[in-house]
């Protein structure tokens, strides 16, 4: 970057950074809060579907990046997780992410045991052949659905359909 461009960026940043950062923080808070509300409302149904007990106090924030240094903008994620990786070898995630500039909602389970992950994908495909279930890196089973950027009210509706 040339010195002139850097100077222009610094001048503009001095004016707009506080408002821009505030807007980003509020956007993230609203998205995480909305996802949390849906997950907590559907927690009993989700627990019943997977055959284990889930508690409201286990639902934590899942935000990437969680600081200013961002190694890869395609990894931006806002949502929630239930992390039992240390105890039981799995984590349950509900989140908004962006793929090729398109916002998407996803529900996933990460499993330490890749054999179990593959068996879940196989079972899903038998039960619901039209549901696009995917396996990432051999350990994360997920379903996703695209969102329209200009209709934020659909976020809880689409997430309920996924959960």
Per-residue pLDDT tens digits of the chain, which is 163 residues long: 678 888 888 888 889 989 988 998 999 999 999 999 999 999 998 888 888 899 999 999 999 887 766 666 567 899 999 999 988 999 999 999 998 888 999 999 999 999 999 998 888 888 887 878 999 999 999 999 999 888 888 999 999 888 7
Tokens of 109: 């389970």
Q: What is the pTM of this model?
A: 0.86
* Distance from C-alpha of 25 to C-alpha of 127, rounded to nearest angstrom: 40
Q: Hey, how many other C-beta atoms are within 10 angstroms of the C-beta on 26?
A: 10
The pLDDT of residue 38 is 95
Q: How far is CA 10 from CA 4, 7, 14, 52, in A?
A: 10, 5, 6, 52
The pLDDT of residue 76 is 87
Q: Hey, how many other C-beta atoms are within 10 angstroms of the C-beta on 54?
A: 18
The pLDDT of residue 155 is 92
């Amino acid at each position: 970057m040339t010195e002139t461009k850097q100077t222009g960026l610094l001048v503009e940043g001095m004016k707009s950074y506080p408002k821009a950062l505030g807007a980003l923080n509020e956007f993230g808070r609203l998205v995480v809060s909305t996802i949390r509300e849906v997950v907590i409302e559907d927690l009993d149904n989700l627990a019943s579907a997977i055959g284990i007990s889930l508690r409201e106090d286990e639902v934590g924030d899942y935000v990437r990046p969680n600081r200013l240094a961002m190694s890869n903008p395609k990894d931006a994620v806002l949502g929630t997780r239930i992390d039992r990786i240390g105890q039981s070898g799995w984590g349950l995630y509900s989140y908004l992410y962006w793929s090729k500039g398109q916002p998407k909602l996803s529900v996933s389970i990460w499993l330490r045991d890749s054999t179990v992950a593959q068996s879940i994908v196989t079972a899903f495909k038998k039960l619901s052949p039209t549901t696009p279930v995917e396996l990432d890196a051999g350990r994360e089973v997920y379903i996703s659905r695209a969102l329209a950027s200009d209709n934020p009210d659909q976020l809880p509706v689409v997430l309920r359909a996924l959960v």
